[in-house]
Structure 1
Amino acid sequence: MTLTTSRLLLRRFNETDLAFIETLGTTPLYHQTAGFAKIQSEAQGQQILNVYQRRTESYLIITQATHEKIGLIELSERSVDPQSELYATRELGFLLLQSAWGQGYMTEAVTALLDDAFPRLQLREIWAGHYENNQPSAIFLQKMGFQYRYEVTLPFYFFEQTVEKYYLLTVSDWQRFRNK
């Protein structure tokens, strides 16, 4: 599946995206602010790309004007059991190249994804988190209608412990946000 906006194309990952994944995995900024895994070999990059290819709601963000790969966005399952209350929820993850910050791309990508996903997947809520040191993501999530709910301290294997703050967006909050 592909989603399009006035400036962006959101498409599923394919083999041509390995170099982009390696760029994210070798850039310390994306490890520190978004928790993107460190990549130290092409094999590790391929493993991460394979994960994104298997996830049904993971998309590469590409500009329509230049065809530049500028980020990724996904809705991760919180349960695979259709009987679970978590089945109708997802967790939003997103990452944008620093060179594309401040241009409204992520607002456009999230809007397209949520406008599609809420009805198609029959979701009732979407969660999103950000590391404590990533204030731009906090501001962004609130701007998109997400409401702060709680924080948790996460141990990390690749760097020191960090705090992640979590936000909630219900389908009714999204509808209100879109009707503004």
Structure 2
Amino acid sequence: MTTVAHAATIETARLRLEPWSEDRLDDFVRLAADPRVTGHFGQGSPWSRRRSEARFAEALGHWTRYGFGWRSAVDRSSGEWLGFVGLNFARPESIELAPRSVEIGWWLDPSAWGRGYATEGAIALRDEGFERVAVDRLWARYQAANKASARVAEKIGMSPDRVTMGRHGEEMQLASLSREQWERMGSPGLT
């Protein structure tokens, strides 16, 4: 799997999931500077603009190279940018995953927490992963203490796989879902 067909915007009941684009840089920088969001990643501290710009560019490059990646989560009724959900190949520092493993993840603005947006977006990306990207297994990595992400992973059909240590000594939960498990779920797909 090197490239996949270009992706259109995906719409769910409440979200428009748009392919990652340059016009969302300031939104991402703002999100990554919020300690309530970044408190669940790595060292748990807000990201600098420079770090955010570098990760943003990396996510854009992933789309260019592979035809899938992060998607802006936009509220369909208000047009408000809520954050992102995404699929991407595991980064090189993700030593606990085999090369070319595909991860699913979500970062949402705290104003969108607790309203089901992460689950709604993750279900759509889970289905995109198995249908359009044609993965055999999806992975999620989150801090073991992050109960909200654990619930999202469970709601989209993932099961805990193992706990590892992150680069900064934090306990990281790995969860996964195989194609066979997904097919047994009778997923409605993207149609």
In the superposition, the TM-score normalised over structure 2's length comes to: 0.78
**Which of 1, 9, 13 is residue 6 of structure 1 equivalent to?**
13
Q: What are the equivalent positions in structure 2 for 1:74-153 lying under 5 Å apart? A: 74-78=86-90, 87=100, 89-153=101-165
Cα distance in 2, alignment partners of residues 10 and 37 from structure 1: 27
Letter in 2 for 1:31: T
Letter in 2 for 1:172: E
Report the 3-state secondary structure (helix = DSSP H, G, I; strand = E; otherwise coil) of the residue aligned with 2:39.
helix
Deviation per CA, 1:86-115: give whole Å up to 9, x if none.
54x411121111111122212221121122
Deviation per CA, 1:9-54: give whole Å up to 9, x if none.
111222321221111221112222144874334x444323212211
Deviation per CA, 1:47-106: give whole Å up to 9, x if none.
232122112211111111111111111112149xxxxx854x411121111111122212
Q: Which residue of 2 aligns with 1:48?
A: 55
Cα distance in 2, alignment partners of residues 172 and 136 from structure 1: 25
**In the comparison of the two structures, how many residue pairs are matched?**
170
8 Å CA contact retained: 1:144, 1:177: no
Report the 3-state secondary structure (helix = DSSP H, G, I; strand = E; otherwise coil) of the residue aligned with 2:119.
helix
Report the 3-state secondary structure (helix = DSSP H, G, I; strand = E; otherwise coil) of the residue aligned with 1:33.
coil
* 1:24 lines up with 2:31 in the alignment: yes
Structure 1 residue 140: Cα displacement: 1.9
Q: Which residue of 2 aligns with 1:163?
A: 171
Cα distance in 2, alignment partners of residues 155 and 112 from structure 1: 29
Structure 1 unaligned residues grouped into runs of 5+: 80-84
Cα distance in 2, alignment partners of residues 86 and 155 from structure 1: 17
Deviation per CA, 1:136-167: give whole Å up to 9, x if none.
111221122111111111232xxxx2110101
Q: Which residue of 2 aligns with 1:70?
A: 82
Over the matched positions of the two proteins, sequence identity in percent amounts to 23
Question: Which one has the bigger helix percentage?
Answer: 1
Structure 2 unaligned residues grouped into runs of 5+: 1-6, 64-68, 92-97
Report the 3-state secondary structure (helix = DSSP H, G, I; strand = E; otherwise coil) of the residue aligned with 1:49.
helix
Cα distance in 1, alignment partners of residues 173 and 51 from structure 2: 28
Superposed CA RMSD? 2.4
In the superposition, the TM-score normalised over structure 1's length comes to: 0.83
